[in-house]
Amino acid sequence: MSEHDSQLILSVGEFLAHALELEVESRERYRMLADCMEVHHNPEVAELFGQMARYSDMHAREVELRAQDTEIPAIEPWGFKWNCPESPEAPCMDDANYLMNKRQALELALHNETRGRDFYGQVAVTSPDSAVRRIAQEMAEEEDEHVVLLRQWIAREAGTGGAPQEDLDPPNIPE
């Protein structure tokens, strides 16, 4: 078995384990970001991240429903078969800033949704199991709807003041 073959998702249960982890991790990260933005008095961005968390939660429930009659294997955190260290849809905390504006938050969400779509699309093409390919294609199409929606939101934000907020009381970091 080649290294490429070891990255293939071979069963519906394995695929659903990946999909559930992707959505749960996405939900938790967006909730953390929403809480952080709320603490730092950035309610507009907090609401946007809260909305993204709710979408991920809804998708996680859909995966759980789909998995009701399927044995889902337990996969260690290092055993997931995505091309990045973390779940494709989990926002990278390094890309977030408590002063970010709504457009920056939307662009971060777009990046994550694109990675999720691409992960599902890759599985839809590479899995040797036809049921996995079919489910992955459905999920890739759903994620593509999110990508389109986020691009529309970003277009509406164009020209609405893309500059980050100024921190009038920055953290005191000794030099």
pLDDT digits 0-9 by tens, 101-121: 788 888 888 888 899 999 999
pLDDT at 2: 44
Closest CA relative to residue 92, chosen from 18, 50, 33: 33
Tens digit of each residue's pLDDT (9 = 90 or more) over 123-170: 999 999 999 999 999 999 999 988 998 898 889 877 655 555 565 555
**Cα(81)–Cα(65) distance, rounded to whole angstroms?**
22
DSSP 28-79: HHHHHHHHHHHHTT-HHHHHHHHHHHHHHHHHHHHHHHHTTTSPPPP--GGG
CB 96 within 8 A of CB 34: no
User: Taking CA 21 as the corner, what is the angle to CA 20 and CA 27, rounded to the nearest 5 degrees?
Assistant: 90
Higher pLDDT, 171 or 29: 29
Q: Where along the chain do its domains lie?
A: 3-157
**Cα(7)–Cα(127) distance, rounded to whole angstroms?**
9
Tell me which CATH homologous superfamily contains domain 3-157.
Ferritin, core subunit, four-helix bundle (1.20.1260.10)
